Amino acid sequence: MTSTNTVVHVLYENEAWMPPLIKAFEEAGLSVDPVYLGENFTLDPNSEPAKDGIWLNRISPSSHTRAHDASVALTREILYWLESHGRRVIGGSRVFDVEMSKFRQATLLKRFGIRTPTTFMVVGPEEALKAARHFNGPFLLKHNQGGKGLGIELYQSYEDFEKRIAASTADLDQGPNRQLIVQQYIAAPEPYITRLEFIGGKLIFAMRSSTVDGFQLCPSDACQKKGIDVCPAGPRDARDA
């Protein structure tokens, strides 16, 4: 790790996201210390983190789709280490834990009086079947720790889901930690989602992503352009092909 007076220590696992981020920081006169958490790493509890600069957490809930299965758990330990030493962290443990869990997101929204679809978190196909009985109409099956819409399945009825489970559970993608979300499906009046980015309670920008082709969509600017064949958030081997 480097050490300068104005340094941003960036925790990351997706190499494709780094070049534009590093360029923007350098243009602002900041030094960047990339800390790669995609593979091998050693953390000494007797050591202290760098005291200068700030720490920026760029670990994604989709990290497992890039064969970085250990990144999320490793990041939790590093965030605890950083915060224990009083370091300034952007995207610290409280924020990170909410980002990694759709269950926590639903719980937090309800706490502030924001209506959300009926939601259950389950572990195991049999529990998913039990939860599905609560719905009279269509519902979704998705990963609790999700990313890019991967693993989302839409069922029109409990009977459809029961047939799917009865046929086979071997090919059921249960996602990281085998935690699944069974959630009421509400059809949107228009085929898109709008992503809002806030910093310090201030709206920075809004971005619209089309859902015409299904649930697997990426909020990256590049993915909204026609003719883009490789998602910058996708697997490394697909980007290098």
At residue 155, the pLDDT reads 95
Whole-prediction pTM value?
0.82
pLDDT level of residue 114 (50, 70, 90 thresholds): very high
Instruction: State both tokens at 75.
Output: 């990041």
The proportion of the chain whose per-residue pLDDT surpasses 70, expressed as a percent, equals 88
CB 71 within 8 A of CB 145: no
pLDDT level of residue 138 (50, 70, 90 thresholds): very high
Q: Is the pLDDT of residue 234 over 50?
A: no
CB 36 within 8 A of CB 13: yes
- Most confident range, picked from 65-74, 166-175, 197-206: 65-74
pLDDT level of residue 176 (50, 70, 90 thresholds): confident
Element (H, E) at 124: none
Taking every pair of Cα atoms in the chain, the longest distance, rounded to a whole number of angstroms, is: 62
At residue 226, the pLDDT reads 56
